[in-house]
Amino acid sequence: MDVSAGFALDEEVTLRGSDPSPDVNRAGCPSRLVLEHVTSRWGVLVLAALRERSYRFSELRRRVGGVSEKMLAQTLQTLQRDGFVQRDAQPVIPPRVDYSLTPLGREAADQVWTLARWVEGRLDDVLAARATYDAGRES
């Protein structure tokens, strides 16, 4: 679980009581923590994968290459707490747990999916800019 989660919750209660309008540019605004969850490396990749369909934990881990079991569990728990992911535990043997997007999660996933596709499409431009930058620093 996110170490700052308890602090953020206390801060959220305080902020909501004094200023109900979220502003991601305001220090301490709870929207910053939600933005961090959605746009983290694993958050983006989990949301993007779940756009396709629901997954069992092990399937999702294979789909999101490079994520550790611990990080996937933490990411899913955080996204579930924020209302983006639904965890459906089936009372069967062996136990079956499926993860899927909530309607709110679908909206978030569509947004990060668009950004991820844009990054893929512009990767050559980014790599060229890096090469130019690095060449200028070496001079």
Q: Among candidates 58, 62, 100, which has minimal Cα distance to 80?
A: 100
Parse the chain into domains and list their residue ranges. 40-138
The reported pLDDT for the residue numbered 17 is: 52
Q: Examine the pLDDT at 10 and tell me if it is beyond 80.
A: no
The reported pLDDT for the residue numbered 122 is: 97
Which range, of 21-30, 33-42, 75-84, 126-135, averages the lowest pLDDT?
Answer: 21-30
Q: Could you give the CA distance from residue 91 to residue 100 in angstroms, rounded to a whole number?
A: 17
pLDDT confidence of 18, banded at 50, 70, 90?
A: low
The correct CATH number of 40-138 out of 3.40.50.200, 3.40.50.720, 1.10.1530.10, 1.10.10.10 is 1.10.10.10
Q: Could you give the CA distance from residue 33 to residue 22 in angstroms, rounded to a whole number?
A: 12
The reported pLDDT for the residue numbered 101 is: 98
DSSP letter (8 states) at residue 44: H
CA-based radius of gyration for the chain: 18
Residue range 17-25: mean pLDDT, rounded: 76
